[in-house]
Amino acid sequence: MTFSHEETETMQLCYENTNGSCTRIPRLLIEQISLYVVFMLGIGVCVGGNLLVVISVSHFKQLHSPTHFLVLSLAVADFLMGILVLPFSVIRFIETCWYFGQDLCSLHTGIDALCSMASIFHLCFISIDRYIAVSDPLTYPMKFTITVTGFLICLGWCLPLTYSVALIYSNTNDQGLEDLLADHQCQGSCLVNVNKSWVLLNLVIVSIPLIIMLCMYSNIFIIVKKQARMIENIAGKTLTGEEYSSRVARRERKAAKTLGIAVGAFTVCWLPFFTDIVIDTLFNVTTPLTMYHIFFWLAYFNSAFNPLIYAFFYPWFRETVHLILTCKILINDYSDINLFKE
């Protein structure tokens, strides 16, 4: 998400022959090239990785389940972040100017807020899904149906959409900041100023899903320990129902562990940035520019981490990626392939 942050080291103008132009920080050519290469690689991982997740869940029928539909919707949010938001943010960061006009600035900020909040809500819903799956794996399919998942996905997009539209078009986020806007408004910037009321709103919006996620996964790990002891107690028995329950519970625990890592990565990436924004606004302090940029881009590139986590921990994702990249899904019908060998 994009918020106002003052840059102090300025030497040139964004528009040399324009009155009221913003100033810019010049960079050496080798520095510009290096930054573009690094950031483009990161964007490539974000866009390509999440696109592979979207194709995998959409094409392979065994992945047409409530959990994977939530993962699919999360991947769509991260994919949109990578293809619609990050390229413009990279140019603005490296060139230290916004060259795309005010209308595109507003659209960019709105999509940024939409994708960021959508990721938060989807990860929250996934944690609830995993808690139900682990706590009661046998009745889970009846509790967490496709209809329930569809409702959560709609909610996970409608709430962020409402937030982003209000942020851009309500004109309430900059109330009380008129003097600041008059002093810092210039041509070549794309900044969204937020007053204390909006900072508190952001804090609530982020804190509630984060608390829910942490509570869900704390309970999951407690349940996992109990199930592990239960499986040890029935080991060697031949009761089919118990064996099936143990096998299902083992699979659900593995999925919960992997998605728990994704939630942990999200927390590590986004919490410093949101904490920095809250502290800066409420206590009228200014974070050093280098540290702010680190927090800013760490939050952005969280969108690239989830596909990497899936690649490391999900054998089914590695198999679907192999089939997609080798174009085998275009030659033969692999949509019914068994992706879960356990």
Question: CA torsion, points 250, 254, 255, 257, in degrees to nearest 10?
Answer: 130
For residue 276, pLDDT over 90 is answered with: no
pLDDT of residue 175: 61
User: Residue 21: helix, strand or coil by DSSP?
Assistant: strand
pLDDT of residue 8: 42
Write the Ramachandran bin of 98: left for phi over 0, alpha for psi from -120 to 50, otherwise beta.
Answer: beta
C-alpha span between 201 and 189 (Å, rounded): 24
| Token pair 């927390």: residue | 267
pTM of the model: 0.84
How many CA atoms, within 13 angstroms, populate the side-chain half-sphere of residue 307? 28
Q: What is the pLDDT of residues 92-121, one digit of tens each?
A: 999 989 999 888 988 999 999 999 999 989
Instruction: Kindly list the domain boundaries of the chain, sorted by start residue.
Output: 12-331
Name which of 26-35, 103-112, 173-182, 241-250 the model is least confident about. 241-250
pLDDT of residue 9: 45
DSSP assigned state of 61:
G
pLDDT of residue 182: 57
Q: Residue 295 in contact with residue 272, Cβ under 8 Å?
A: yes
C-alpha span between 190 and 94 (Å, rounded): 14
- Binned at pLDDT 50, 70 and 90, residue 72 comes out as very high
Over residues 44-69, mean pLDDT: 93
Percent of the chain with pLDDT over 70: 82
For residue 181, pLDDT over 80 is answered with: no
Chain-wide mean pLDDT for the chain? 82
How many CA atoms, within 13 angstroms, populate the side-chain half-sphere of residue 109? 24
* Overall fold of domain 12-331: Rhopdopsin 7-helix transmembrane proteins (1.20.1070)
Q: What is the pLDDT of residues 234-260, one digit of tens each?
A: 554 544 555 555 555 565 566 666 667
